A and B are shown apart, each in its own frame.
Chain A
């Protein structure tokens, strides 16, 4: 006899008698054979049981100034996987000299792939970036998303004498460190 537990946002409940059960999974986008553990003993006094499952898709975030496949690559941009609310999960990944940052072991499915959320947490210090939560779905095992990190906007800096209002300083250097 089999009982099915519907999982929504990480949890599901079902009425069960105390017994040992074999466990299988049907999770879109994930490798169902990786459900762990694959058996569970439901015992008196314990009413919560935790499982994990793994996916094997690869999402490449290609970071360039222009946000195109041919754009100037940005090295050192960091990203992290999140949920829809922006809570961070897993280790951050950083773009290499080709501008590629790789999120491994992400879910994919041709028809029913779950949404993958991520956000950029830093660029290389010389480019702007969007730090809001982004999302995509993978319909194939590998996919690339183009990310734009444009150059910083041109700013005008003025330097005047504190004791002679509006008297411009003839020459000098200001250094900005972030």
Chain B
């Protein structure tokens, strides 16, 4: 099977947008094919072409797992070290009472909230 030299770059949130990380790469059978620290956020490695791999990135931002495929076109694969921020959810209380009997609580039911897409 033909090998291809690929560069893997780990992206951070700093000014230089690189992130030092410990990188582990597994093939599709779960075999560890590489493990090491990045240099300036990057590693360079030979991998088999037309194969899928799992990369696990451990950094200050936590642990992330991604999947990538080695093809003939791509020489540099970039992965974020951090989760994209999701809006925080707060615990919200809804009160439901009878319009015609002030403050009389509704015994049971559902309120459905439809978010604008």
Is the CB of A102 closer than 8 A to any CB of chain B? no
Given A7-B108, A28-B108, A50-B95, CB of A104 within 8 Å of CB of B113: no
Q: Is the interface of A mostly helix, strand, loop or mixed?
A: strand
Is A25 a contact of B109 with CB atoms below 8 Å?
Answer: yes
Is B115 a contact of A3 with CB atoms below 8 Å?
Answer: yes
Distance in angstroms from B105 CB to nearest chain A CB is: 2
List, in ascending order, chain A residues with CB within 8 A of B91's CB.
13-15, 47
Is the CB of A33 closer than 8 A to any CB of chain B? no
Is A27 a contact of B110 with CB atoms below 8 Å?
Answer: yes
* Cβ proximity bits A38-76 to B, threshold 8 Å, 1 near / 0 not: 001010000111111111000000000000000000000
Which residues 76-107 of B sit at the A interface, judged by CB distance below 8 A?
87-107
Is the CB of A114 closer than 8 A to any CB of chain B? yes
Is B98 a contact of A55 with CB atoms below 8 Å?
Answer: yes
Is A48 a contact of B108 with CB atoms below 8 Å?
Answer: no
Find the A residue at minimum CB distance from B88. Answer: A17
Which among A11, A21, A30, A51 is the interface contact of B114 at CB below 8 angstroms? A21
A28 and B107 alpha carbons, distance in the complex (Å): 9
Is the CB of A162 closer than 8 A to any CB of chain B? no
A124 and B76 alpha carbons, distance in the complex (Å): 92
A21 and B103 alpha carbons, distance in the complex (Å): 24
The range of chain B's interface size is: 20 to 34
Given A8-B108, A25-B109, A47-B92, CB of A53 within 8 Å of CB of B99: yes
Is A1 a contact of B106 with CB atoms below 8 Å?
Answer: no
A18 and B92 alpha carbons, distance in the complex (Å): 10
List, in ascending order, chain A residues with CB within 8 A of B16's CB.
none
List, in ascending order, chain A residues with CB within 8 A of B97's CB.
10, 50-53
Is B112 a contact of A30 with CB atoms below 8 Å?
Answer: no
A36 and B99 alpha carbons, distance in the complex (Å): 9
Find the B residue at minimum CB distance from A90. Answer: B101
Is the CB of B111 closer than 8 A to any CB of chain A? yes
Residue ranges of B at the interface with A (Cβ–Cβ < 8 Å): 87-117
In the A-B complex, the 9 residue pairs with the closest CB atoms: A10-B105, A27-B109, A90-B101, A105-B100, A21-B113, A89-B104, A15-B89, A89-B101, A52-B99
Q: A9-B108, A23-B112, A83-B105 given; name 16 further pairs at CB < 8 Å.
A: A2-B112, A4-B112, A7-B96, A7-B109, A8-B107, A10-B106, A14-B91, A16-B113, A17-B88, A20-B116, A28-B108, A36-B99, A49-B94, A51-B94, A54-B99, A55-B100
